[in-house]
Amino acid sequence: MIMMYHIRNKVAVMLIGLAFLVSCHGLEELNENPNQISAETVEPNLLVPTVITGAAKNTLNLGFGDLAGVMQHTQKDGWSGGHNTYDWSNDSHSWNGLYSILTNNKTLIQKAESENLEFHLGLGLVMRAYLFGMITDLWGDAPYSEALRGNEGAAFFDAAFDDQKDIYLGILDDLARANTLLSKSQDSYFGIKGAQDVLYAGSVAKWRKFANSLALRYYMRLSEKEPGLAEDGIKRITTNPGQYPLILNAADDAAMAYVGNTGNDSWPTNTKFDTDSQGAYFRIKIAETLVEVLKSLDDPRLGVWANKVGIPLVLDAGAPDGTDYMLDGERHVSQDIVDAYEDVVGVPVNYAKDYIGLPTAITLGPAFNLKKEFKQGSFNPHVSQLNDIYKEAKGPLLKARLLSAAEVHFILAEAALKGWVSGSPEGHYNEGIKQSLETWGVGGSYNDYITGARYGGLEDIMLQKWIANWTSAAEAWFDYRRTGFPNLQTGEASKRDALPLRFYYHINEIDTNSENADAAISKLDATQFKGEDTSNNSAWSKMWVLQGTGKPY
């Protein structure tokens, strides 16, 4: 049961009874609850799926939501401002949900420590690292060392914001500890209920691989800002695979499948529970940027992710004005209709007969490509819809992907390019592509595909990593900020002439924890794209990890 209490303009989300604290503030009016979840009363295996599903769904909602729009994997042709044009502000994105998951995870860790449940403790540390990593990646400095302590008294209601560097170091410490805790044989642990572990079914070895692969991600995240620290960490992990096993095969991907029984546990664009003709499935289109790259590579993943255009367009050159008719499943139009459309919509008609993506941040998305009915977020026969699998509530490919073998191999390719690991960058690059193709069920096309996608350097690594992060675009965004690749361009309706770099600190945090929030804001570096933002709390300001790197602009 989920209960909500409104406390000084904050919403505290309570899962499995009452889990308290959203961002450590605003508990002054909360009396002790006799039903409160605690380490003394909770069954740890009941917390495990709560934490995993919360984190996984949050990751998917970002990576298939607004950040897929920023990274031009998808675009929307209805209710699209936050997705296509980065029309964000200080009331757009809150970290409350992430801190609520962390509250449950804290209880899991406490229970595991009190009962010497090493598997559960290792799992809890991995998830704590993952969730705090997401928070600092998205916002920058954030409550960390004093977070989740509101129950200890008023001194913790206004949590200080830790420096981003210290959060990253804490994450890496947690993951190192988790690796040690998860280093024993499977039968050395007790209390594991595989059915409750919706990520790895209680496999200690796979959680250990997840821990070390996540550490690899964060060392690479620090590679521009702290290259010495990053090099040492990556070398330590990669030179001792027995001590630091990694996710190297798609079968070990940290990916949560959707159950599909209710709207809450189903793939978010399903049409089983969302039957609206303007629902999520119909609003979201694959982006032109991604389509054109995939077509140039003859990439088999395109057909897995999108449908071919329903009704191709044909220009009848020399036909009388007003010509518009159907023939053999294609719509034929005269030049005057095309000219009038292009004058108003501002993008050319796309006559492709296979796949057509929605251009970036166009002003009149609902009218794209001569769509007759100007209706937001509805079916458009002249653009590719998402593949029909995305109408389903569940399926073998419908997973929230937290970290993949493909990502690990691309990290290793980049590290090899820097001279930090043995082996050639090309070998790891090729394996990253292979594992992504395996993930999407088209592994058999690898030999043909790689001949047209030869390795040529960092830009190729990041391009293929961007492709492989389909539905996981948050990670693609973090890579873009660090490297500037792929070199994405904004659209006509974009809020600024550059891609955003972070989420705004939320107005609730600024209002109720103003001293600490203001201190964090003062440490952000504004860029030339700050625009009309009145403080450094801008989506176009640089957090610590980007400051001084010259990236991505």
Along the chain (553 residues), what's the average pLDDT of each consecutive run of 10 residues? 30 36 39 51 91 98 98 97 97 97 98 97 98 98 94 83 98 98 98 97 98 98 98 98 98 98 97 97 98 98 98 97 98 98 97 98 97 95 98 98 98 98 96 98 98 98 98 98 98 97 98 97 98 97 98 98
Question: Helices then strands (H, E): number in the chain?
Answer: 19, 13
pLDDT of residue 369: 98
Going by C-alpha positions, the residue among 497, 498, 484 that lies closest to residue 550 is: 484
Q: What is the pLDDT of residue 113?
A: 97
How would you classify residue 537: left for phi > 0, otherwise alpha for psi between -120 and 50, otherwise beta?
A: beta
Per-residue model confidence (pLDDT) at position 135: 98
Cα dihedral across residues 320, 321, 326, 328: positive or negative:
positive
pLDDT of amino acid 37? 55
Quote the pTM value. Answer: 0.93
Instruction: Count Cα atoms within 13 angstroms, Cβ side, for 534.
Output: 3
Report the distance separating Cα 240 and Cα 96, nearest Å. Answer: 38
Distance CA 35, CA 88 (A): 38
CB-based contacts of 58, cutoff 8 Å, min separation 6:
97, 98, 101, 134
Domains, in order of start, for the chain: 2-258 (1.25.40.390), 284-391 (no CATH)
Spatial separation of the C-alpha atoms in residues 323 and 343, rounded to whole Å: 18
